[in-house]
Amino acid sequence: MKTSNKPCRIASVIASEIRTIFTSYSILLVLAGGIFVYGLLYNYMYAPNLIRHAPVAVVDRSMSSLSREYIRLLDAAPQVEVRTGGAGFPEAKKMMDRGEAAGIVYIPSDFAERVNRGEESVFVLYGTTEAFLYYEALQEAAMGAMLELDGRYRPQMVVFLPQQVVMPVTQTPAVTISGTALFNPTGGYGSYLIPAVLMVIIFQTLLMVVGMIGGGERGTGTIRRFAACGLSWGGMARVVAGKTFVYCMLYALFSLFLLGLLPVVFSLPDIGDKYRIAMLMIPYLMATSFFGLAATVFFTDSESPVLMIAFFSVGLIFLSGVSYPLELMPWYWKAAHFVFPAAPGTLAFVKLNSMGATMADIRTEYLTLWGQCAVYFVLACMAYRRNTALALRTAGLPERRPSDEVRSVETR
- Percentage of the chain modeled with pLDDT above 70: 84
Question: How long is the chain?
Answer: 412
Is 409 in a helix, a strand, or coil? strand
Distance from CA of residue 344 to its chain's centroid? 12
The CATH 3.40.1710.10 portion of the chain extends over 54-153
Give residue 396's pLDDT: 72
Show the beta-strand stretches assigned E in 220-359.
none
Binned at pLDDT 50, 70 and 90, residue 399 comes out as: low
Give residue 358's pLDDT: 92
Give residue 338's pLDDT: 94
Local structure of residue 406 (DSSP, 8 states): S
Binned at pLDDT 50, 70 and 90, residue 403 comes out as: very low
Give residue 335's pLDDT: 93
Report d(CA 203, CA 201) in Å as an integer: 5
Give residue 37's pLDDT: 85
What mean pLDDT is predicted for residues 67-91?
A: 85
Give residue 176's pLDDT: 56
Give bridge partners of residue 5 from the DSSP assignment.
407
Report d(CA 178, CA 181) in Å as an integer: 10
Give residue 160's pLDDT: 60
Is 107 in a helix, a strand, or coil? strand
Report d(CA 353, CA 361) in Å as an integer: 12
- Write down the mean pLDDT value for the chain: 83
| CATH class of segment(s) 54-153 | alpha beta
Q: Which residues of 200-237 are buried (b: 16+ CB within 10 A; e: fewer)?
A: bbbbbbbbbbbbbbbbbbbeeeebbbbbebbbbeebbb
Count of helices and strands (H, E) across the chain: 17, 6
Give residue 123's pLDDT: 81
Report d(CA 377, CA 375) in Å as an integer: 6
Report d(CA 59, CA 143) in Å as an integer: 16
Contact predicate 338/254, CB 8 Å: no
**Lowest-pLDDT range of 70-79, 80-89, 165-174, 237-246:** 165-174
Nearest to 121, CA basis, from 143, 99, 140: 143
Report d(CA 52, CA 45) in Å as an integer: 16
Give residue 173's pLDDT: 56
Give residue 376's pLDDT: 97
Helix (H) or strand (E) holding 320: helix 313-320
- pLDDT one-digit tens code per residue, 89-120: 888 888 888 888 888 899 888 888 887 776 77
Report pTM. Answer: 0.73
Local structure of residue 183 (DSSP, 8 states): P
Give residue 2's pLDDT: 37
Is 2 in a helix, a strand, or coil? strand
Give residue 1's pLDDT: 32
Other residues' Cβ atoms within 10 Å of the Cβ of residue 147:
12
What mean pLDDT is predicted for residues 158-180?
A: 59
Report d(CA 36, CA 56) in Å as an integer: 34
Helix (H) or strand (E) holding 4: strand 2-5
What mean pLDDT is predicted for residues 265-271?
A: 85
Contact predicate 82/75, CB 8 Å: yes
Binned at pLDDT 50, 70 and 90, residue 193 comes out as: confident
More confidently predicted of 87 and 212: 212
Does residue 19 have a pLDDT over 50? yes
- pLDDT one-digit tens code per residue, 228-247: 887 888 889 999 999 999 99
Give residue 343's pLDDT: 95
- pLDDT one-digit tens code per residue, 297-309: 998 888 878 877 7
Give residue 341's pLDDT: 96
